[in-house]
């Protein structure tokens, strides 16, 4: 396991005048639980989209498990699982139909797909809703069925964009359990989030992104450094420290109307 799971070199992407990703360099080790953290609008989704081949970069190279995403898509797509944020699923299928469709599209034999789908639905606590349309699922259920679809072909690297966003604590715990078991077997999870406590409790490797650039990357302890929490270290890194709202808003509190 010397080869990095993901190697990103000098990645750029602009939308019109807006520079979303400005020269990202990343080397993510295999077999780790990796958190990509940054404030809203930092370029997390854009970076992940380019890494997974869903968005074409303006410049730069991306290698996943040693294969170039844009030159060798067949090798890469077979080895990765993706759960994007803000893109729909084929939500007019039921949960089970969605898994059956995805698995067969991935080239797995039908009986194997059905077996794995049943297990995933069970583990993710979706068995009771498997015959309901995904469009009628709650946010947490959608994330879980998306995760199931991403895991179905047993990928080497799993990319999850904000997998815990809008998810209730029970579903979050379920997702967490599945992901921990998955990395325990030597696979790599790369997920983005802006919730530092979550990243701190889950990840052993962290990359901090802000304004389209990587501010720090490395093992959690290294990135955290001397700071008490990752949150502190993060605020320091993105330069958001020292803003204090206490001086204004002196009228706030108490609830009287005038």
Partner 1 sequence: MTAPAAAPAAPAAAPSLTPVFVRLKLSLLRNGLRQSSGRRAAYVASAVVALLFAALQLLGLILLRGDEHAATVTVILVAVLALGWAVMPLFFPSGDETLDPTRLVMLPLRPRPLVRALLVASLVGIGPLFTLCLALGAVIAVARGGAAVAVGAVAVPLTLLLCVALARAVATANVRLLTSRRGRDLAVLSGLVIAVGAQLVNFGAQRIGSSAEGLGELEPAADVLGWIPPSSALSAVHATGEARYATAAAQLILSFAALLLLLHLWQRSLTRLMTSPDGSTLAAAEPDRRQRGGGLFARLPAGRTGPVMERTLRYVWRDPKTKAAWVTSLAIGLIVPVFNALQDTGSVYFACFAAGMLGIQMYNQFGQDTSAFWMVAMTVASTRDAYEELRARALALLVITLPYAALVTVLTTALLGEWHALPETLGLSFALLGAMLATGAWSSARYPYSIPQQGHKNVAPGQAGLAWISIFGGMLAAAVLCAPVLALTIWLHTAGHGSWTWLLLPVGTLYGVAVTGAGLRIAAPRVARRLPEILAAVSKG
For partner 1, the binding residues (CB under 8 A) are: 52-56, 73-74, 76-78, 82, 84, 86-94, 96-97, 100-102, 104-107, 110, 131-133, 135-136, 149
Is 23 in contact with 213 (CB distance < 8 Å)? yes
Closer residue to partner 1 (CB): 16 or 242: 16
Work out whether strand 6-15 and strand 18-28 pair parallel, antiparallel, or are unpaired: antiparallel
SS3 content of the chain, % helix, strand, coil (to 5): 35, 25, 40
CB of 13 to partner 1, least distance (A): 11
Torsion, CA 146, CA 147, CA 149, CA 154, rounded to 10: 160
* Residue closest to 179 by CA, chosen among 166, 169, 170, 188: 188
| Sign, Cα dihedral of 14, 15, 16, 17 | negative
Smallest separation, CB 138 to partner 1 (Å): 9
Residue whose CB is less far from partner 1, 159 or 164: 159
Using the minimum distance from each CB to partner 1, give the nearer residue, 86 or 242.
86
Question: Is-contact 16 42, C-beta < 8 A?
Answer: no
Q: Which residue has the tokens 């750029």?
A: 12
Q: In the bound complex, what is the minimum distance in angstroms from residue 32's beta carbon to partner 1?
A: 23
CB of 74 to partner 1, least distance (A): 4
104 vs 176, beta carbon nearer partner 1: 104
Q: Which residues contact 176 (CB under 8 A, 6 or more apart)?
A: 202
**Measured from the CB atom, is 30 or 55 closer to partner 1?**
55
Least separation in angstroms between residue 221's CB and partner 1 is 34
């Amino acid at each position: 396991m010397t080869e990095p799971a993901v190697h990103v070199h000098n990645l750029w992407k602009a939308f019109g005048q807006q520079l979303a990703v400005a020269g990202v360099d990343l080397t993510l080790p295999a077999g780790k639980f990796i958190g990509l953290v940054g404030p809203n609008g930092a370029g997390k989704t854009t970076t992940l989209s380019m890494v997974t081949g869903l968005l074409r970069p303006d410049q730069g190279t991306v290698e996943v498990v040693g294969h170039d995403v844009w030159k060798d898509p067949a090798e890469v797509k077979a080895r990765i699982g993706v759960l994007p944020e803000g893109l729909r699923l084929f939500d007019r299928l039921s949960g089970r139909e969605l898994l059956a469709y995805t698995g067969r599209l991935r080239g797995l034999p039908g009986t194997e797909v059905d077996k794995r789908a049943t297990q995933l639905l069970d583990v993710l606590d979706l068995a009771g809703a498997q015959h309901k349309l995904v469009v009628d699922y709650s946010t947490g259920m959608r994330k879980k069925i998306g995760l199931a679809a991403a895991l179905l072909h047993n990928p080497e690297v799993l990319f999850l964009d904000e997998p815990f966003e809008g998810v209730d604590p029970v579903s979050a715990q379920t997702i967490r359990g599945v992901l921990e078991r998955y990395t325990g077997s030597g696979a790599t999870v790369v997920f983005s989030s802006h919730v530092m406590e979550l990243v701190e409790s889950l990840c052993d490797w962290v990359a901090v992104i802000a304004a389209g650039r990587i501010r720090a990357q490395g093992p959690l302890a290294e990135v955290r450094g001397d700071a008490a929490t990752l949150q502190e270290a993060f605020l320091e890194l993105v330069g958001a420290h020292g803003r204090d709202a206490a001086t204004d808003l002196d009228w706030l509190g108490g609830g009287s109307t005038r």
